[in-house]
Amino acid sequence: MTIVGAGMVGHTTAHWLAVDQVADLVLVDIIEKMPSGKALDLLQATPVRGIDVKVVGSNGYEETAASDVVVIIAGIARKPGMTREQLIDTNASIVKRVVEQVTRHSPDATLIVVTNPLDAMTYLTYKVSGFARHRVIGESGALDSTRFRAFISMEVGVSVEDVHAMVIGAHTDKDMVPLPRFAHVGGVPLSHFVSPERIEAIVARTRRGGAEITELVGTSAFFAPGAAIAQMVMAIMRDKKRLIPCSVYLEGEYGEKDVCIGVPVVLGSGGVERVIELPLNDQEQAAFKASVGAVREMLTALKL
């Protein structure tokens, strides 16, 4: 499989995937020699962990030929005070060039999009690639949901293994839609453990999960995004049938068409094998529709 964009998120994703021996890896980046150096560094770690994977780096795409999965992370990262939406012009140009290359060399691949603004870049990838919708998937809720789960675990004081929660909607600070009504701890509803006021605080922190890290570190997060990407890749490569919220192209689900946005899906060897339509209440439905509206505004800037 291939990771395009060997920066912090890219090489962290490669690390998670290598540790779990999910696939042989190709790291691609335009910075001369850098992906080869990072690939070599990771490869040299494999004997310590007893990991039998091949890792190579490249400034081109020849080595990526016939990849089963291609993760697209290439683009400029968010800086403190910058919104994901402000990245759209520059990153749209980068993603378009990447998609043209990877589809030429790996026409049967499943594409996982990570570049921000996520939902717009997923839509762009879907349109430019010409692939069926089940083969173009944006990270979105896979990352937002793990942040939601982490904050719930911290609040309740239980293992993260027992916390299940999801975030749908746009992958933006303002417009994502955490769903506390569907969250539970070992099968017990979240509301049994946490007051409505604390639930709202957890939701608010989830929405700012990425911005909080950017303010602290000075650039975008990488450990959690890399782990979320690796989870998606593993679900596809090992046909695990995982239910993970991801940004996908809707064809009538949730009453929406011709837009990419985060919804629960089942990921397996066929990519998106099912879209799960949740029974949203009026408040949740209104929040989701507003989220879709925010994504549609971004799509107008793509001029597709």
Catalytic residues: 171
Pairing state between β 184-185 and 188-189:
antiparallel
Crossing angle of the two packed helices 8-19 and 223-237, in degrees rounded to 10: 50
Distances (CA, A) of 234 to 13, 117, 244, 279: 11, 24, 12, 28
Q: 25 CB contacts (<8 Å, ≥6 apart)? A: 1, 2, 3, 14, 17, 18, 39, 42, 53, 54, 55, 56
Q: How far apart are CA 282 and CA 279, in angstroms?
A: 10
117 CA to centre of own chain: 11
